[in-house]
Structure formats: C-alpha cells, structure tokens
Structure 1
Amino acid sequence: MQGDPVSAELDKAQKAMCSGHDALPFMTKMCPPSEMKFAPLPEAMLALLVRSGDYKPIAPGEPPSWFDISSADDSVTLILYRALSDEQFYVLAPIASDIS
C-alpha cells in the first residue's frame, strides 16, 4: 500500500534498523534483515512486556527499541517500534513464511 502512512513509516523504520546489520534477533534466533518486517505486536505479548521490570515506555515515532527478557534458563530479544502514524506497537519479525 503505497499511500498508507503506517506502511510507509514501518518501511522507513525497518530500513533504518536493518542498515548495517548482517543479522537481527527475533526471540531466540538471529535472522537476516532482508527476511524480516515489522508486524503488529499482539496485545497479549504487549501486556506481558509492560509487566516486565525491564520495560521502558516507547513514545510513538522513537527509534526501534531492543527489548531483552532473561530467565535462569534462557533469554529472548525483540525489536519493538511504536508508530507515530497510529501509535500501535510493532515487532520486527521474520516474514511469515520464514518462521520455523
């Protein structure tokens, strides 16, 4: 959707985030930036992140934020973005066909 301001904003944030990186994190794996895009962050996942002691509010339009969650056994990393266009939260994730 070329005229969609949210899509244009997400494309710009993705290009800025992916520039200069050979791989980016999603959960417990690393992915090529060319195989990732911003997708809506599910409400349930946002609720979990907000309850985390590591959560810091993200203002709409700020650069993407890296968010790490660790436990004694494992850790996950997410790259979050809050769009200025619609103030919704997005997560940089593998393109659907690439998720395994």
Structure 2
Amino acid sequence: KASRLASGPPLEAYATSPAHAELGLADLIRIDADTFRALFRRSPLWRTHPGGMCRNALVVAANTGRNDLVEVVREAADEDPDAAVREVARWALAELEAKR
C-alpha cells in the first residue's frame, strides 16, 4: 500500500519557495495574515494558518533557548490579537527566562 502512495506527485510539488529560507523565527513570530497569505498561499504550510505558524515558532524559540528573541516573544505575549498565541508566548517567555 505504501508503494502505491509513493507513486503520487513528485516531491517538487511540495517544495517551499526559496523565499521561505530567508525567514527567521522572529519573522514567523511576527507574521501577520496578509504576509502569511502572500508567502504560503500555495504551499503545504498554508494549513498552519498565521496563528499556528506563530505558535510553532514560539515553541521552537523556547525549546532551543533563543534568548536573542526574548523581546519578540514578549511582544507577542503582550500584543498579539490571538489569545492562543499570547498564551503560548507567555509560556515561551517563562521557558526562556528560566534558561538564562
């Protein structure tokens, strides 16, 4: 069964844009709906939605100890319009501060 699935479209169909490689965690944490749409509309990442992308980036920042992003994370915790993003940002901020 798995071999039948492997005969689907080539992997290039699922490749992301070279512009995606230019994005850092700070960019993904600060991403707004319009920028997200412009960058990811026709990519597999479209399914995450802007809030999901931001939450994932916050988790990565916290789990990798990115203390250089504390201010960006704090900004998300204080100002993001999405309550779920603010909650994850507060968690990430606590994780980063604990690792200092």
Q: TM-score, normalised to structure 1's length?
A: 0.24
Greater share of residues in helix: 2
Greater share of residues in strand: 1
Q: TM-score, normalised to structure 2's length?
A: 0.24
Q: Which has the higher contact order (CA 8 A, sep 6+)?
A: 1
Q: Which has the larger radius of gyration?
A: 2
